[in-house]
């Protein structure tokens, strides 16, 4: 027993110094401009391009090392949270419009206004609107935009040709929540049951469908419906909140929103879209490759993923024109932010500036995955992505034609998403009526009145 006591005492003594170490407060940080800058990102497809940026940056800044870590989207935000709690957050990280409000309200990321005023960059170099997304509701700027995206249609060109649908038709689809317009006609035509009968032909069996016209993702849209339904609701003049950014009153109780969801839901009953459970664990790209769906609505950041799919010929088309005569697409811009607790914010700021520079963004553009936010290199990206075989202009035309609308940045974004994910899932799963979204809306709005 004595020996055990000795061992136990030794362990406790060894742990004692660790117990008395005082943690530095998260908001302290430091302005060193040397050392290792940790940088987190989630998109593995973009990793090689940013790795190249880091190599180039280190060559001209020998006192700074960049350690890039890629963590997939599903883990990214949970890990970010625990890292902030544990004071081990990255110095710089790729931030998302839907998330950064939760960080600014807790003072976890560094405002950049004074730094930008002192060192640049000139904010006019960015694509219009991308920079504005990164001004919080306190008027401070929290990130330098790095890219932008929009939503469009990917469709199986061979299937469309077999169905007698021309590329011209696909470029000029129309939609309304009553009969679905030519958009629904196309989805019906592209749906084929196990007997080879098309959705617009008599005898179509909606319960035994071999190829669905439209794909569905899981979860079906959450609070923003970025790639699922937002491009439809916007054509009715509906918007998520009372103002584009930092709204505090959501509009999920609006008939225009609920009519759109009701129409979208009806596609499942008609056999033009698979039941939502079929989307669990299946990526839209793989469902298309397997021939299970003929058309999906997706973000431009997935163009290279679709372009790489073997054994299938794909094409792109813009979102349909709504009853008011215009088409719409949600656009979003990611940005790089600096953690307020970073011990070497000087070096972090240098890296963030380089990430937003035409030099780094040219490298990213040539990577052919996303369209950079630096306006002068957008054509480089269009060419690089286009060289993979898919036309990117159905996505970028929204910016040229002014039909893009911003991702609805708001506080409590995680809570809004979880409430709306559950609510839309119930509706799409058939266990709740579309009118139940009114109660969900009340729940969402209560987040803002309860503080």
Partner 1 sequence: MVTVDTAVAPTSSTPGQEAGGLTPGRVLAWACLIAIIAITLFPFYWMLRTALSNGTTLATAGTSWLPVDFTWGAFRRVLGLATLEEAQAEGGTGSAVDFWVYLRNSVLVASLITAGQVFFGALAAYAFARMRWPGRDAVFFVLLTALMVPPIFTQLPNFLLMRDLGLINTYAALVLPFFFMTPFAVFFLRQFFLGISREIEEAARLDGAGHVRTFFQLIVPMSWGPITTLALLQYVQAWNEYFWPLLVGSERSVRTLTVALGVFRSQTPQGSLDWPGLMAATLIAALPVLLLFIAFGRKIVDSIGFSGIK
Interatomic CA distance for residues 153 and 227, integer angstroms: 9
Contact (CB, 8 A) for 112 and 74: no
Q: Min. distance of Cβ 288 from partner 1 in angstroms?
A: 8
Among 29, 37, 39, 42, binds partner 1 (CB under 8 A): 42
- Binding to partner 1, residues 2-21 (CB under 8 A): 3-4, 15, 18-19, 21
Interatomic CA distance for residues 121 and 100, integer angstroms: 21
Closer to partner 1 by Cβ: residue 312 or 422: 312
Interatomic CA distance for residues 227 and 234, integer angstroms: 12
Contact (CB, 8 A) for 336 and 93: yes
Is residue 270 involved in binding partner 1 (CB under 8 A)?
no
Q: Which of 272, 283, 154 is nearest to 211 (CA)?
A: 272
What is the C-alpha end-to-end distance of the chain, expressed in Å? 57
Q: Min. distance of Cβ 45 from partner 1 in angstroms?
A: 5
Is residue 414 involved in binding partner 1 (CB under 8 A)?
no
Q: Min. distance of Cβ 151 from partner 1 in angstroms?
A: 11
Q: Min. distance of Cβ 439 from partner 1 in angstroms?
A: 28
Interatomic CA distance for residues 209 and 128, integer angstroms: 44
- 8-state DSSP, 270: H
Closer to partner 1 by Cβ: residue 293 or 378: 293
Contact flags string 50-89 toward partner 1, x per CB under 8 A: -x-----------------xxxxxxx---x--xx-xxxx-
Q: Tokens in use for 299? A: 């973000």
Is residue 319 involved in binding partner 1 (CB under 8 A)?
no
Q: Tokens in use for 341? A: 């607790």
Interatomic CA distance for residues 391 and 433, integer angstroms: 38
Q: Site size for partner 1, by CB under 8 A?
A: 51
Bridge partners (DSSP) listed for residue 94? 336
Q: Min. distance of Cβ 260 from partner 1 in angstroms?
A: 20
Instruction: Give me the phi and psi of 207, to 5 degrees please.
Output: -90, -15
Q: Which of 451, 449, 425 is nearest to 437 (CA)?
A: 425
Instruction: Please identify, among the stretches 151-159, 174-182, 293-301, 357-365, the one whose residues bind partner 1 according to the rule CB under 8 A.
Output: 293-301
Q: Min. distance of Cβ 223 from partner 1 in angstroms?
A: 15
Instruction: Give me the phi and psi of 18, to 5 degrees please.
Output: -65, -35
Closer to partner 1 by Cβ: residue 82 or 195: 82
Is residue 99 involved in binding partner 1 (CB under 8 A)?
no
Q: Tokens in use for 213? A: 């016209």
Q: Min. distance of Cβ 203 from partner 1 in angstroms?
A: 26
Instruction: Please identify, among the stretches 42-50, 114-122, 131-139, 166-174, the one whose residues bind partner 1 according to the rule CB under 8 A.
Output: 42-50
Bridge partners (DSSP) listed for residue 148? 371
Q: Min. distance of Cβ 284 from partner 1 in angstroms?
A: 6
Give the residues lining the site for partner 1 (CB under 8 A). 1, 3-4, 15, 18-19, 21, 23, 42-49, 51, 69-75, 79, 82-83, 85-88, 217, 227, 283-287, 289-291, 298-299, 301-302, 305, 308-312
């Amino acid at each position: 027993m004595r020996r055990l006591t000795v061992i136990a005492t030794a362990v406790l003594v060894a742990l004692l110094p660790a117990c008395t170490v005082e943690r530095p407060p998260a908001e302290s940080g430091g302005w060193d401009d040397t050392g290792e800058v940790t940088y987190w990102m989630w998109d593995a497809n973009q990793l090689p391009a940013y790795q190249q940026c880091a190599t180039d940056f280190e060559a001209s800044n020998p006192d700074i090392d960049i350690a890039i870590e890629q963590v997939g989207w599903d883990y990214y935000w949970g890990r970010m949270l625990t890292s902030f709690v544990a004071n081990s957050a990255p110095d710089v990280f790729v931030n998302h419009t839907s998330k950064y409000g939760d960080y600014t309200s807790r003072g976890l990321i560094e405002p950049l206004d004074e730094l930008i005023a002192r060192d640049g960059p000139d904010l006019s170099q960015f694509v219009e609107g991308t920079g504005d997304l990164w001004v919080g509701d306190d008027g401070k700027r929290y990130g330098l935009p790095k890219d932008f995206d929009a939503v469009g249609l990917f469709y199986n060109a061979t299937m469309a040709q077999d169905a007698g649908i021309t590329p011209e038709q696909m470029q000029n689809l129309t939609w309304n929540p009553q009969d679905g317009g030519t958009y629904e006609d196309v989805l019906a035509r592209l749906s084929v049951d196990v007997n080879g009968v098309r959705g617009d032909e008599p005898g179509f069996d909606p319960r035994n469908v071999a190829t669905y016209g439209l794909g569905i993702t899981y979860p079906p849209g959450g609070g923003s419906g970025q790639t699922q339904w937002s491009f439809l609701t916007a054509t009715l003049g509906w918007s998520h909140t009372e103002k584009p950014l930092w709204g505090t009153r959501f509009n999920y109780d609006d008939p225009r929103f609920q009519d759109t969801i009701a129409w979208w839901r009806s596609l499942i009953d008609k056999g033009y879209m698979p039941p939502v459970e079929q989307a669990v664990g299946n990526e839209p790209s793989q469902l298309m490759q397997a021939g299970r769906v003929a058309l999906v609505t997706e973000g431009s950041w997935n163009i290279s993923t679709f372009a790489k799919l073997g054994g299938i010929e794909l094409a792109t088309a813009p979102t349909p024109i709504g009853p008011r005569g215009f088409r719409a697409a949600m656009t979003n811009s990611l940005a790089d932010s600096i953690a307020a607790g970073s011990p070497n914010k000087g070096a972090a700021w240098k890296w963030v500036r380089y990430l937003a520079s035409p030099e780094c963004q040219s490298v990213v553009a040539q990577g052919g995955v996303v369209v950079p936010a630096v306006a002068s290199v957008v054509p480089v990206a269009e060419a690089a992505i286009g060289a993979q075989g898919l036309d990117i202009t159905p996505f970028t035309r929204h910016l040229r034609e002014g039909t893009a609308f911003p991702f609805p940045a708001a506080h409590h974004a995680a809570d809004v998403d979880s409430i709306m994910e559950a609510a839309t899932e119930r509706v799409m799963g058939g266990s709740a009526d579309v009118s139940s979204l009114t109660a969900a809306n009340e729940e969402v709005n209560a987040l803002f009145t309860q503080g």
